[in-house]
Amino acid sequence: MKNDALYAALIAFFLNIAMSPFVIPLLQKFKFGQNVRSDGPNSHLKKSGTPTMGGVIILGSMVLTSLLFSINNKELHTILFVTIGFGLIGFLDDYIKIVKRRSLGLTARQKIIAQLVVTGIFAYALKVYLGLDTSIILPFSEGRELDLGYLFWPFLVIAVLGVVNAVNLTDGLDGLASGVTVLVATYFAAIAWAMHSNVLPIAAAAVGSLLGFLLFNSYPAKVFMGDTGSLALGGFVIATAFVMKMPLFILIVGIIYVIENISVILQVAYFKKTKKRLFKMAPIHHHFELSGWPETKVVTVFSIVTAIMCLIGLVAL
């Protein structure tokens, strides 16, 4: 199994860098370019037209690689379903944005219904297909588990929707979501390796795919992942965490996702109450941009924070 991890990472990496030179020109040819929000930072206007929907490359390389290791691997099947399910929702969202030439795709109602459907099937898979109970591992407790009982199911819904959309919010700078998530995926791959978990091949495939994608997505980005990629990665992260019974560890290793999400919630709540902005712009990576930080510095600092928290996450298990 440990050799499988190396093979999965390498295969996904080379698949990604092999697909990208073909897919990116196709996205340009069909004018699948990014529509930059008019209320975003002015520095981002120059990114308008950069090919988006690059998440199909991430998904393609992850799926193809995972299928090589999918025989009798129910954990991999479950995580792959959630990853593809949320990726498809993101694909529809991106496609509508491009066809209608607007910065918003699916309506909020359509998104939440689709996400709840995927989450519901995921909950069923955890209970029936994998046969997992309703307990989760507590951080810093030497592996002690807490049985949530019936509270597990509302907790799962909140956690899945929260993480998936938090990763989506994180995807706002060149290489930010992919850079942070490759570290989170590496963390889960390391834990899966130590535990001899069946999660290992798909976690390793995610690492390899994201490393390949970063060659084209880091500043200045030649392609954006779009909601296709960010929602798929959010699905991968939270599905992996639940299959390994480690959803609370997202609060540690996924601290950037948490901060990005909270910054938006605080901004909206504060503005409704005072008609003033708490941050210069939310999500918070834009606040740092408007405070004078170069885009590359924001990405670097957020990645360093994630790396440190992943090390803390190793100690917390």
Which of the four pLDDT bands, split at 50, 70 and 90, describes residue 37?
A: low
pLDDT number for residue 31: 67
Percent of the chain whose predicted confidence (pLDDT) is above 90: 83
Residue 195 has pLDDT above 60, yes or no: yes
Residue 38 has pLDDT above 80, yes or no: no
For residue 199 the two structure tokens come to 């999660």
Rounded-to-10 torsion of CA 46, 13, 164, 317: -130
Say which range, 70-74, 132-136, 159-163, 310-314, has the weakest mean pLDDT: 70-74
b/e map 42-73, b = 16+ CB within 10 Å: eebeebeebbbbbbbbbbbbbbebbeebbeeb
Percent of the chain whose predicted confidence (pLDDT) is above 70: 92
pTM for the structure as a whole: 0.94
pLDDT number for residue 2: 67
For residue 200 the two structure tokens come to 């290992």
| Chain centre distance of CA 91 | 14
Average pLDDT, the chain: 93
pLDDT number for residue 49: 72
Please enumerate in sequence order all residues whose Cβ is within 8 A of that of 117, keeping only pairs 6 or more positions apart, or say none: none
Residue range 117-161, pLDDT digits in tens: 999 999 999 999 999 999 999 999 999 999 999 999 999 999 999
- Cα–Cα dist 254/306, whole Å: 7
Task: Give one DSSP letter per residue of 195-230, joined into a string.
Answer: HT-TTHHHHHHHHHHHHHHHHHHSSSPS---HHHHH
Q: Hey, where are the domains in the chain?
A: 2-251
Residue range 73-101, pLDDT digits in tens: 999 999 999 999 999 999 999 988 887 76
Residue range 223-269, pLDDT digits in tens: 999 999 999 999 999 999 999 999 999 999 999 999 999 999 999 99
pLDDT number for residue 36: 56
- Cα–Cα dist 198/286, whole Å: 38
CA atoms within 13 A on the CB side of 150: 0
Pick 104 or 84 by higher pLDDT: 84
Pick 37 or 2 by higher pLDDT: 2
Which of the four pLDDT bands, split at 50, 70 and 90, describes residue 57?
A: very high
- Cα–Cα dist 222/215, whole Å: 9
